Amino acid sequence: MPESFLGDLSQVKLFDILKPLLTEKKTGRVNIKGKEDGEIYLERGDIIDARTNHFTGENAFFPIMSWKTGRISFDPDVFPKEKSIPITTEQLLLNWSSRKQEFEKIKEVIPSTNSIFRLSLQKDGKEKNISADQWNVLVLSNGTKTISEIAKSLEWDEYKLLKTVYHLIQIGLLERAEDRGSAKKKSVRGDFFTVLDMELKKVMGPVAPFIIDDKLVEFGEGKESFPEERALPFIEALSEEIPNSMKRSEFLKVTMKLISF
């Protein structure tokens, strides 16, 4: 069968493209063509291989899933020369979800790549051991360069730099150069995401927690401090993922009880 066009990453997320391929147990190759090229191979709905120009396996799958540009197509019944992902697809998605959650935790401290940091005064008198990579970040954190500018200078990807800066903040070597404080907002009730996960699994199956995590990234929020004022649009966004209208209505009926009007 010929290659079929599935969408463009500027308009749709890659996870949304993969979901039906996984649930329908497709076999073939997902091609991503853009500034970077990548491939993800499926076998009966399982992800068995991923490749970029420089990496294979999970090291290729994670960055591919974060790409924002590129055309996606699918070649059915195409197999890789070797399988680079030995773990189950569920575990792979769990690992990817964990990495996204780490991103959320980091972004509570570093809200934007336009944030600026500087060296902080050392008042505790303790010695701190740092790596060469951390030293390079410290040298460039002069109170004027943004995270994005530092990434370009070091030729690093966003994940590596944010993780390094986050660690340097945690050990007290860096601090924000600007104060953008805002009033603390009321968060959703404690069982909000537990109930959402349970109810969405009833209609979407095991992909439910990954859909929730994906929407959290889209909303730019974390579970620990999700604002109550955004609960309604979040629930509505989740309901749009449910293709069956009756199941969608039932999901909304149950989950709306989580909101305090």
- Interval 14-41: pLDDT, tens: 999 999 999 999 999 999 998 889 999 9
Q: What is the DSSP string of the chain?
A: ---EEEEETTTS-HHHHHHHHHHTT--EEEEEESSS-EEEEEETTEEEEEEESS-BTHHHHHHHHH----EEEEEET---SS----S-HHHHHHHHHHHHHHHHHHHHHS--TT-EEEEPP--S-------HHHHHHHHH-EEEEEHHHHHHHHT--HHHHHHHHHHHHHTTSEEESS----PPPPBPPTTHHHHHHHHHHHHHGGGHHHHHHHHHHHHT--STT-BGGGHHHHHHHHHTT---HHHHHHHHHHHGGG---
> What is the pTM for the complete model shown?
0.53
Task: Please give the average per-residue pLDDT across 48-73, as a whole number.
Answer: 89
pLDDT at 33: 92
In the prediction, which pLDDT does 184 show?
53
Q: What is the pLDDT of residue 29?
A: 96
Mean pLDDT of 192-212: 90
Structure tokens at 182: 């805002």
Which CATH number applies to 112-176?
1.10.10
At 210-225, the pLDDT tens digits run 899 888 887 877 888 8
pLDDT of residue 216: 86
pLDDT at 189 over 70: yes
Q: Please, which pLDDT band fits residue 182 given cuts at 50, 70 and 90?
A: very low
The confidence score (pLDDT) of residue 114 equals: 80
Q: Which of 17-31, 53-67, 101-115, 146-160 holds the top average pLDDT?
A: 17-31
Mean per-residue pLDDT over the chain, rounded:
86
Look at residue 75 in the predicted model and tell me its pLDDT.
94
User: What is the average pLDDT across 122-142?
Assistant: 87
Domain borders along the chain are 4-86, 112-176, 192-258
The pLDDT, as a whole number, for residue 230 is 86
User: Above 50 in pLDDT, residue 180?
Assistant: no
Q: Give the percent of the chain with pLDDT over 70.
A: 95
| 84 or 127, which is more confident | 84
Query: What pLDDT is recorded for position 42?
Result: 96
